[in-house]
Structure 1
Amino acid sequence: MLVGKLMLKNPIKIYEDEIVTQVAERMQNYNFARFPVLDRDEMPVGILKRKYLEMESGDSDVTVKDIMRRVSDEEVIREFEEAYTIFNRAGEMFFVVDEKGRFKSILRKRHVMKMYFERLEYTESNLRGVIECVDTAVFSVNRLGRIVFINNFARELLGINGDKIEGMVIGELIPDVDIMEGIDSGVDEFNRNFDFNGRRLVLSRYVARSDGKAIGAICSLRDITRYNEITDELALEKTEKEVLKSVFNTAYDGLIVVDAKGYITMISDAYKSFLGVENENVVGRHVTEIIENTRLHKVAETGVPEVADLQKIKGDYIVASRIPVFKNGKVASVVGKIMFRNIDEFEKLYKKIGKIEQQLENYKDELSKINKAKYNFGDIVGRSNEMKRAVNLAKKAAYTNSNVLILGESGTGKELFAHSIHNSSARRNKPFIKVNCAAIPDDLMESELFGYEQGAFTGAKKGGRIGKFEVADQGTIFLDEIGDMPMHMQAKLLRVIQEREVERIGSNKTIKIDVRIIAATNRNIERLIEEKRFRMDLYYRLNVVTIEIPSLRERIDDIDLLCRDFLEKYRVRYYKKVDSISESAIAKLKKYPWPGNVRELENIVERAINILDTETVIKPKHLPSDVSGVFDIEDVKPLKDVLNETEIRTIVQCLEVVSFNKSRAARLLGVSRAAFYEKLDKYKIKVVNKTIHIGD
């Protein structure tokens, strides 16, 4: 550990030209025996003992230099040196200096010794914890063969009861084995077999050394008694397998056996002939490589038999059965059998099944497109230090499975970060489900998140409905505006996080899920906790990794980059020739406080592109007057037009805040749903694929 990390903070300084009486008065409140003395260039020159200070405190003409002791080179140490080097030096107090020899602080030997002792205790505690956690018998002895440490696994293996084991001679516990043989020569030993209490054990010994000499040994023991028994069992199983193989090859029906992971262990010649692989060695290959549309590996996972099931092979349907074989309560293998090879009488059923399969594939493709994250870290624009810190932390979080809490004002890009974290994680190919907690009515939130069973309540759909958490299984769920979640739902969400399972409304069965949660809010969570509107335990569960996204006013230097990005986006969308944004316009934008953050900036750039006529450069006059401050007489518009523009901007911003939920937007704006739709029609505002189009 470096000296600079251990030196005293805010040290006392005494200068050699100071009067002793003044120094004595100043040092009354400090209980130190020695004080560092510096010259006026902050260079260490001496050490002043308190007793000399008290002896001369009555003389007003004596200076510190007159009574101090000159500092020696041995008492000076640089801040970037290793602290342990002071152990080889005399003295208790040392001057710490920088690379130019200027005084930085003092370092006391007892403080360094205390720090190293605490680190030694911490390391020893961790080492003992690790040894206790391993499932191997481990013990250590000193060079006299006395036990220094023994873990619980070794106690059980050796049949030791009682607590006073340390200090015993290992030869008393294992009398017939000289564990200490050859230790003085420092020779390690591995895999020595011996018998102990009717069991066969294997000993490995590693000699511990200090300064090249043996000081003891670390030993491990393994019980291999069962190995011979297993060998006999394997020989018997091999014989039985040969018999079964003969039965298989003489059977006319198609038979196949796979193990618990779906790999083929046996297959009849008749089945190989039917599949057209009679000349191939298919044993050991996964069943999905050999049989199309097979479900044998699925039955191995579920343990549920499937009898007389339709399966399409080589363009035709067959009827097959799949029966799991259990051993010790777990699926050991699955036996598959073809029951019928030609099913002409089921032709109409085949066509219907084919149509259903096609519809199912279409639904799967559509669902995959909907539940997919769109953005990556490359889509995040920003060069400010604040934004770089947020992005770097988000990238680190992406490589973990920990829950993430994203904090930031509305319009800062919280959803963009959530998309990027998912797309950079190991779950990138799994679902990404977005839920806006502020846009879902309180009485519908539980059914949205957890689903419901058929008949759970009035109006429940036939067959029930799957919840968002189930859809997000193996993937990520993004809970936006988590601060608006009602308290009763917070309790249910906390249980889902803790138990990793959900329960549909109307069901008494739990469903295990593996979902990573990314939550976001623009609210002050800590204030909500104080107001009893947000659960503290839920906050700690979500707050594993916290990413604070800076507001736009905190990263003004990013405005020009963002403007160029939005300019490219909207000039392509609206087929307009727009070359750039003028420096004067950028300057105006940088002075604006940006209550709506990046989203507001994007709206302003889009608006400016829309109102450009023949010009190809966005200037201050193309910006809203509250941004530009420009309100020349030639730019004055009729009040009706100004009100219309204000209404359009307010409607657009409201739609974005509620994730394009028109009913919620109408409620927030305080107008009826019908009146809101009239406004949308009046201004030709359309929402297409969660993108707002104006005047199209």
Structure 2
Amino acid sequence: METHLEFNQLVRLLPILAQTTGGYAAITDNEGRRISTFDYNGQEITNLKGQIYELARKAAQEGKPLVGSSQIVDLADAWALPLGNFVLACSNVERLKREQKLQEAFKRALPMIAQVAGGEAVIFNEFGERIISYDSDGTERSQLKGRISKQALKAMESKEPVVGKSFSIHGAMAVRIPITKNFGFGFNNENASQRQQKLYEEVKKLQNTRYTFEDIIGESEALLKTKSMANFVANGISSILIYGETGTGKELFAQSIHNASPRRAKQFVALNCGALPATLIESNLFGYEEGAFTGAKKGGSPGAFEQADGGTIFLDEISEMELGLQTKLLRVLQEREVVRIGGLKPKKIDVRVIASTNKDLNVLIAEGKFRQDLFYRLNVVQIKIPSLKERQADIIVLARYFMLKYNASFGKAIEEIDLETIKILQNHTWPGNVRELQNCIEHAMNMVGRDDFELLPKHLPSYLRQRSTSVKDAVVLEIKPGSLNLGDALREAERKIIKEALQVVKYKKVKAAQLLGISTTTLWRKLCEHGLEDYLERK
């Protein structure tokens, strides 16, 4: 009789439970056989009587509450609770339906959200995978469907909004917001970012220079020191001589100095001394009068020095200038006046000279190919730009910068660089410096397929893959005379390798351990052994 009373009480409770949980409520026997089932409207569903509900049967068998799936509606959650000779089970079908309706409402509103936000709007699932996305003009971005965003996944896992950089457009910011445990939505401000970038480019066009110090990408100590020095001397009037290997960005530095100087509102005139024959360089530098030579323009033409009056003249590859022209250039620098070819009247000029070379001018002076007095005139302030092999910590920083840049250009959505790819990039000697690295990343982004989420070794140019080595091979150890001790040398080599690995992976300890082929425990111990405890705190 007691069991019968308990059963009747449970049956009376079922409609209330179904309505409260927003789904179905049922009572089964210990075999999982349905005795009575009610929906969220309080109606009994008689056609389910006698059916076996596996979740209820298993809960009775194990003698404990279980969570599982609804037998009636796919994707709905359910629970089963053993109560003596019976099992009480409920599902949240109505909540699932409400969630599906909510998701559909977000899908319909997505084009409007994109338009209001001024960028892309996207819905993603619990794995951070794109379900659907729209541009601000209402166009669906079907090519990005299925892409996984790590930031979106982070938002779903943390159940908190995540604000950060957009991986699809360089310079744009994005917000990812979890709505339910199954989906979330996000948006970015790429239109505003693109407008800002266009405005920035237009301003730079008006200045006749494209670059500022903000365009010089890198975090290494060597580069930061060089940028700091260049920025400091930008306010002066003295001539500057920039040394740097091919592809290090000598003109980028020259333009940045000009744009940081009081002369930024005036002209920046660049002349490549190695790209033109001597006769053309002379006429381009100093200008000419009408009739000075066959083909001379009527009325003559001002040269680079006159055009740059009040501003800056940049003489690239100054080492390639012929000795005869060097003499004339020296006179202009000494007298601060220029005489056009075929002319007699000197014209006073106020020009700051920045010259660059990828050769050692002292060697050229010793060989009689460069005037020593001109060297002293140009070399008032000397700036040496570090090569990429001198700033290895910047290789991956630059690679990621170019990757994001080409994401926008090529319509790709790459977020990460594979660990093996990082090793290949880090171990290359980069004779072409930043220019070579940029070309390699551009090549790689052209090779990326629709289903690729990160840059892989297969995307890189073949010559990089063929010459790749391990991180250990990239470390160069200098042994000074009188200090040739094997134990000390090995310890120093290990210390350098560990530091190098940490810089490659931006000080992430787990990744560094993987890169080195050791456990994280071993890595921590070795950091302490080598006096690198401060690296433990870096993030």
Q: TM-score, normalised by structure 2?
A: 0.48
Computing the radius of gyration from Cα coordinates, the structure with the larger value is 1
Higher strand share: 1
Q: Which has the higher contact order (CA 8 A, sep 6+)?
A: 2
